[in-house]
Each structure stands twice: as C-alpha cells, then as structure tokens.
Structure 1
Amino acid sequence: MNKITLDKKKSLYIIGSIVLLFAIALTSMKMGSLDISYGEIIKGILTNSTTGNFAIIKDLRFPRVIIAILVGGNLAICGVLLQVVVKNPLADPGITGISAGASLVAILIMVLFPQLNSMKSLLAFGGGLISACLVFSIAYDKGFSPLRIILAGVAINAMLSAMSSILTTINSNGVSSVTNWLNGSLATVTWSDAKMLFIYSLIGVLISFTLRQTCNLMSLGDKTAKSLGVDIHKQRIIISAVAVFLASISTGVAGIISFVGLIVPHIGRFIIGSDHKYLIPFSFTMGSILLLIADTIGRCLFTPYEIPVGLVMSVIGGPFFIFLLRRSMKKC
C-alpha cells in the first residue's frame, strides 16, 4: 500500500470518527430521565425557544455534551503528548499526578476563594504544572523509568488527594458539590464553563498539532532526534507544558477523570498508527466519543440517580490499566 493511499485511509478514519462523534452527541442529548426526539433536539439547537424541552436541550444537555467533547479530547491529546515525553505507554494525567495538582488548586478556589471561580481553570493549570514537575523530578535518574514515574505519581497523587480531602472536610458547607466534582462530574456545568473551556481548548489543541513533527522525531528515540537537530530537553518541556495545560483546564471544569489519556492513545495507535499528524486529531475525536459514552451511561444507567463520569471511567479504565501494566512487565 503506497503512502498516498495510506494517508487517504487515515484521513477517512478521522472523518468517520467525526461523523460518529456527531451521531453519539445527538444520541446523548436525546437520552436521559426525559426522552427527547431527534426533531426536538435539532429545533432546540437551531431556535431561540427556552420553553419546555427546548430549555432542557439548550441549558442542560447541550453545554454538557460540548464540555464532554472538549474534556475527553483534551485528556486524550494530553495522554498522547505525555507518552511521547516520558516514553512510557502508561503515562496519563491522572496516574502522573497532574490531575491531583490541578484539582487541589480548584478546590482551594471553590472552598476558600469563590470570587476567583472565573479563573479556576487557569489557576488549576498552575497546580497541575507544579505537580508534574514534582513527579518528573522524583522519577528522573539519567532518564525516565516507567516504574519510577508510576510510583512517583502514586505518591504525589496520594499526598495531594489527602490535602484535597482535608480541605473538603474542613469546609462543611458545600461538601456534596465538591465531592461530586472530585469524582469527575458534568452535572452542574453551564454555558459559561463551555465557552471558557472552548477558548482554552482551542489554544491548547492548536499548539499540540503544531508539535506533531517534533513528537514524531522524539518517538524515534533521543539519539536519533538529536542527530536530526531536535533540542530534546527544550522540546520535552514545551510538550509537557502543553499536556499539563490541556489536562488542568479540563480538570478545573469537570474534576478528576482518569484513564481517558491512557486508553485512547493505545486505541489510536492500533487503528491509525503512530504518525502524530493523524494520531492527535484522531485521539481528540476518540477521547470525545469515549467520554460522551461514559457520561451517557452515568446519566441513564440508574435513572433518576446519576453516576459521575469519573467513576464510570475508573470502572472502564482500571482493567485496561492492569492489562497494560502486566504486558509491560512481561517485556521487562
């Protein structure tokens, strides 16, 4: 199969994933405690009506679906970038402690400085960046060992999660809402959250796509990348910063959602290959699809009760992580 045919096939996979994402988004808006027809959904999107089912579509389900798409896509790209940086197939914003750092700062704002709520995602980026620096500095010893990164991530996660729990316990008011947020919930998101996240996500995704060639070169190994003129240390810092930014802004809005950044890159490489020109956009759509499905399951499985999407992803991702861990141990 020649390169042109292969590239065309990969492009078709991306187009197909976008079509599938659109279909799942419509289905997600349709399903819930109140079943809404597809006709009503289209009318609700296209018209300015705010009565009856239109209000449910526009004010509740539509922003929720948009945020699920953005968060899922952001976390998936974050996983792709982190796995390039540390050369570790188990790298994920949750496992590496980034989400815990971002969530600690977000909780600080929620319980102590609610007046800064509009800046929560950007400030969460600072928390995620500090957490990532701690994990990578602990794990680094003439290179990055997958085992050291996992152990350092577990340690930092435990420490920051404990601090988050202490803050939640001290703040007796609003404990329920903070706990739901910690579990990764999209139940209370609003249009303002969607608009803010869209702007930040657009910046992060566009920057990540400009790094596609660098990611390809770094995937060849440090020696090969250096011989081709890549400043390894500089590019590793830049790619890591973009990954932390995408994970942190998503955590600031949706709470801690694990395993999206772990599962999707593996699926993407299996289907579309390791060329980041295609892997980055394909991972975005696949991450969006995965999180949309998980959120829809959480909303509809035990109606009228709702399971936070973060817990649904933990149930899905836990076995996948164990499978990858056992496979990597066999290779050692």
Structure 2
Amino acid sequence: MFCFALLSLRSGAVDLAWSEFFALIAGRDVGDPLLQTVLFDLRLPRVLFAIIVGGALALSGAVMQALFRNPLAEPTLIGISSGASLGAVTALLFGFGSLLFMSLAGFTGAVIATFAVYLVGRRVPGLAGLLLAGIAINAFALSLVSLLITFVADAQFRSFAFWSLGSLTHASWSSLAWLMPWSVLLSLWLCARWRILNALLLGEREAQHLGFALDRVRRELIIAICLLVGPLVAVTGGIAFIGLVMPHVLRLWLGADHRLLLPMSWIGGATALLLADGLARLMVMPAELPVGVITSLVGGPFFLWLLLSQTARTR
C-alpha cells in the first residue's frame, strides 16, 4: 500500500520528477509553488481519502459476509450504499451541499434503506429474506437517484453523473478532518468484533450457546456499517466491488479467522482503491475516469473468474 501511495502522489497530469517529489516531502523549495500545491493540496488528501474509503468498504464487506453468512454480501447488497447515495443527492438538490449536511444525509439515507430492508425481509424466515429485500430496495433507491439527477440543471448534470459512478474528486483536507477520525474509530471497533464473527461461522445456534445476543449484535454491526459507509458514500458516490471482491480473495488466501481477515481486508481494500484511483487519473490524462468505472471493469470479470474457478474445483 505504501508503494502505491507514493506512486499515486508522484503521478498525474502534472508530472513530478523523483528529485522534486522527495525535495517537497523533505520540505525544501523546488522553485515552483504549483508543484507544492498539486502535491499537498490536491494529491495527498486524495490519496488519504482513497485509503480510508477503500479500507472502510472492504472491512464492511468482510463484516457483512460473516454476519449474513453469505460470501456475496456487501454494503450495496442491503441498500446501505444506494440509500446513502439517495440521501446525498436529495441534500444537494435542496441546496444543502456542505460536507456536514451531505454526510448526515448519507447516513440518514443508509439507515432508512437498511430499516426498510429489515421491515420487508423479516417477513421471510432466515437471512434470505433480508438479502432479497436488500436487492429490491437497492434497485429502487438507485432508480430514485437517477430520477432526481434528471431534475438538476444542465451545468450540474455532468458533475452529478460523474459522482454517481464513484469519484474521489471531492477529497480535501476539510473532508478528511471530518471523516477520517470517524472512519478510523469505527474501523477499529469493527475489527474488535472478530470473536462474534468467528462464532457465527459455527452457526447462529452455536453462537447463542456461546453467550452472544445475536439480535443486539446484528443491530450494532449494521448501525456501525451505516455510520461508516454512509458519510463516505455521500462524498464519493457508488464504488462497486471493493467490498465484495477483496474480503472474498483474502478469505481464500488467509482463511476465515476474522482476527486476521478484518484488518487485512481493510489494508487490501485501501490498496485496491489506491490502484484504481491511480488508473482513473492516468488513463485519459489530463481528464480522468470515475474510479467506480475502474473498480467495476476490473472487479466484475475478476469475481466471475473466481466463481468459475471455484466451481471447477468442486466438480
């Protein structure tokens, strides 16, 4: 991850020589104030933001896959990401475009979507009801996002469309000051829940026999994921496949012990989003692609390959 961060800081439409890059890092003057602005005001907050967003998405995916005992579970599946996107777009349309209001709207949308999934899904026994309700609520929320975007002015439409595909262009020191401490604390709290997630691997009845109150644990974990993912998605838009692919790949490599899987998922997700954001900035310079397009283009075929390879091994 550290190497990808260095490469992402150095590379872009404004090229930095390695000598200039290390001179700026060391605090020396290189004679061009533009280079200092590009490195410290544009690229550094974006790199840090990619790290916390990628780590949060992958960690949330790992927690949800254990919680639902389904390797296909991720924040998008039960409407958390789409609900947060709907809340953020609604806030923007009504003129509340500040980071605080967008974060609150994103969290509110995530909670409402999750609560709707719970109300609908509990009518079907087992976890299948929640997953099916999540797919339906997710599709409905995304259709509302698309509908609301059509009502914005033409000048804003491209910005909205770019954001809806997933983008880190809104990363700044102010957004980091608000979201980074919150995200780190919640990520640490989720990593500390590895015991209950390991117990769930044995089954719900066995976890209850070990003394875990599963209803309370589910509520706490889902609310924590909403608090973690909702404000981030409100700023970045939808970034697909990080929360689905990275925990799945690491589980195949490291095993299912969440004491190791959770922190490694965070590191893997941060590294993956750093790499995807670097490609998004470099492929069509001086313009850039939405980072969500890169994660989908790479993550979709890669996940299909994993599924096909697993199917071939089980035959």
2:127 match: 144
Q: 1:162 to 1:279 in 2, by over 3 A?
A: same
Give 3-state SS (helix, strand or coil) of 2:239's partner. coil
2:9 match: 29
CA distance in 2, matches of 1:42, 1:90: 42
Displacement of 1:136 in angstroms is 3.8
Displacement of 1:290 in angstroms is 0.4
Establish whether residue 164 from structure 1 lines up as the match of residue 145 from structure 2: yes
1:4 match: none
- Is residue 109–residue 117 contact of structure 1 (8 Å, CA) maintained in 2? no
TM-score of the aligned structures, taking structure 2 as reference length: 0.90
Letter in 2 for 1:36: L
Percent identity over paired residues: 34
CA distance in 1, matches of 2:133, 2:19: 51
Alignment of 1:63-212 (within 5 A): 63-114=45-96, 116-140=98-122, 141-145=124-128, 149=130, 151-172=132-153, 173-212=155-194
Q: 1:32 to 1:206 in 2, by over 3 A?
A: same
1:217 match: 199
Q: 1:158 to 1:279 in 2, by over 3 A?
A: same
- Is residue 85–residue 240 contact of structure 1 (8 Å, CA) maintained in 2? no
Letter in 2 for 1:219: L
Q: 1:115 to 1:106 in 2, by over 3 A?
A: closer
Unmatched 5+ residue regions in structure 1? 1-20
1:12 match: none
Displacement of 1:40 in angstroms is 2.9
CA distance in 1, matches of 2:309, 2:119: 26
Letter in 2 for 1:156: I
CA distance in 1, matches of 2:22, 2:103: 31
Displacement of 1:46 in angstroms is 4.5
TM-score of the aligned structures, taking structure 1 as reference length: 0.86
Letter in 2 for 1:164: V
Further displaced range: 218-227 or 265-274: 265-274
2:292 match: 310
Displacement of 1:317 in angstroms is 2.0
Q: 1:120 to 1:329 in 2, by over 3 A?
A: farther
Letter in 2 for 1:143: G
Give 3-state SS (helix, strand or coil) of 2:249's partner. helix
Deviations 1:113-163 (A, max 9, x none): 326542322331121122122234433422112xx5554333222211121
Establish whether residue 260 from structure 1 lines up as the match of residue 206 from structure 2: no
CA distance in 2, matches of 1:68, 1:199: 14
Further displaced range: 149-158 or 196-205: 149-158
Q: 1:213 to 1:40 in 2, by over 3 A?
A: farther
Root mean square deviation of aligned Cα: 2.3
1:40 match: 20
CA distance in 1, matches of 2:51, 2:95: 28
Displacement of 1:296 in angstroms is 0.7
Q: 1:236 to 1:150 in 2, by over 3 A?
A: closer
Q: 1:218 to 1:150 in 2, by over 3 A?
A: closer
CA distance in 2, matches of 1:62, 1:115: 23
Give 3-state SS (helix, strand or coil) of 1:307's partner. coil
- Is residue 170–residue 235 contact of structure 2 (8 Å, CA) maintained in 1? no
Q: 1:324 to 1:155 in 2, by over 3 A?
A: farther
Deviations 1:72-100 (A, max 9, x none): 00000110111111111101112332111
Q: 1:325 to 1:96 in 2, by over 3 A?
A: farther
Further displaced range: 42-51 or 148-157: 42-51
Displacement of 1:319 in angstroms is 2.4
Displacement of 1:203 in angstroms is 2.0
Displacement of 1:274 in angstroms is 1.6
Letter in 2 for 1:121: S
CA distance in 1, matches of 2:18, 2:267: 22
- Is residue 59–residue 190 contact of structure 1 (8 Å, CA) maintained in 2? yes
Displacement of 1:288 in angstroms is 0.4
Q: 1:299 aligns with which of 275, 281, 292?
A: 281
CA distance in 2, matches of 1:326, 1:217: 29
Q: 1:132 to 1:326 in 2, by over 3 A?
A: farther
